[in-house]
Amino acid sequence: MALTATIYNFDVELVDTDRHVYESLALRLARHPSESEEYLVARLIAYLLEFADGIEFSPGGLSSADEPAIAIRDLTGALTAWIDVGTPDAERLHKASKLARRVAVYTHKDPAQFLKQLAGKKIHNAEALEIYALDREFVNALASRLERRVALTVSISGGELYVSIGDETITGSSARLRRQE
């Protein structure tokens, strides 16, 4: 018997003063059985940091070889931003850079190891690739409080994230990394 995805519901009050985004969101995320709680949280945080018209999660949780974890499409349905989570390989990023004008990666793993993995690899339009390291302790703290239904208030200011769950606030950051050639 195959394991099925677990659905998580997030009610999010998003306040991103850096980008002047103020939204109330009801998000349903499917967590694939092979997906860690940390990956699910990293997908959620990446989505909130990238929130824009036309944003969507890939179906089923884990991204396939042909789809990003998160996509932003214009009104015609054309892919404008490919947003990955974790540590995608150079071949995947090369393909993504050919399909979308903008490619961003949010990693919740060891950023130095990820950059080392990409060093010297051929990636189309590599200079435009955006790589962000999510604060690992922040991701782990959120994952430890993960429930099937969660109400969050997320404030983003100056690159810092403040997530309130009930009467507790967890803080973290997202730092842009420089890729080594």
pLDDT value of residue 3: 75
| Sign of the C-alpha dihedral computed for residues 141, 144, 148 and 150 taken in this order | negative
* The two structure tokens encoding residue 61: 């949780």
Say which residues have a Cβ less than 8 Å from residue 145's Cβ, sequence separation at least 6: 165, 168, 170
pLDDT of residue 1: 56
Per-residue pLDDT 10s for the chain (181 aa) are 567 889 999 999 999 999 999 999 999 999 988 889 999 999 999 999 999 999 999 875 555 668 999 999 999 999 999 999 999 999 999 999 999 999 999 999 999 999 999 998 999 998 999 999 999 999 999 999 999 999 999 999 998 999 999 999 999 999 999 866 5
The string of DSSP letters for 30-62 reads EE-TTS-HHHHHHHHHHHHHH--TTEEEPTTSS
What is the reported pLDDT for 94?
Answer: 95
pLDDT of residue 178: 81
Q: Which of 56, 49, 27 is nearest to 162 (CA)?
A: 49
Q: How many Cα atoms sit within 13 Å of 157 on the Cβ side?
A: 8
Flag whether 32 is in a domain.
yes
In-domain check, residue 103: yes
Split into its structural domains, the chain has a count of: 1
Domain that holds residue 121: 6-177
d(CA 181, CA 168): 41
Tell me what pLDDT residue 33 has: 87
The CATH number of residue 149's host domain is 3.10.640.10
Identify whether 1 is part of a domain.
Answer: no
Q: Residue 37's pLDDT is what? A: 95
pLDDT (0 to 100) of residue 49: 97
The SS3 assignment for 119 reads: coil
In a domain, 21, yes or no: yes
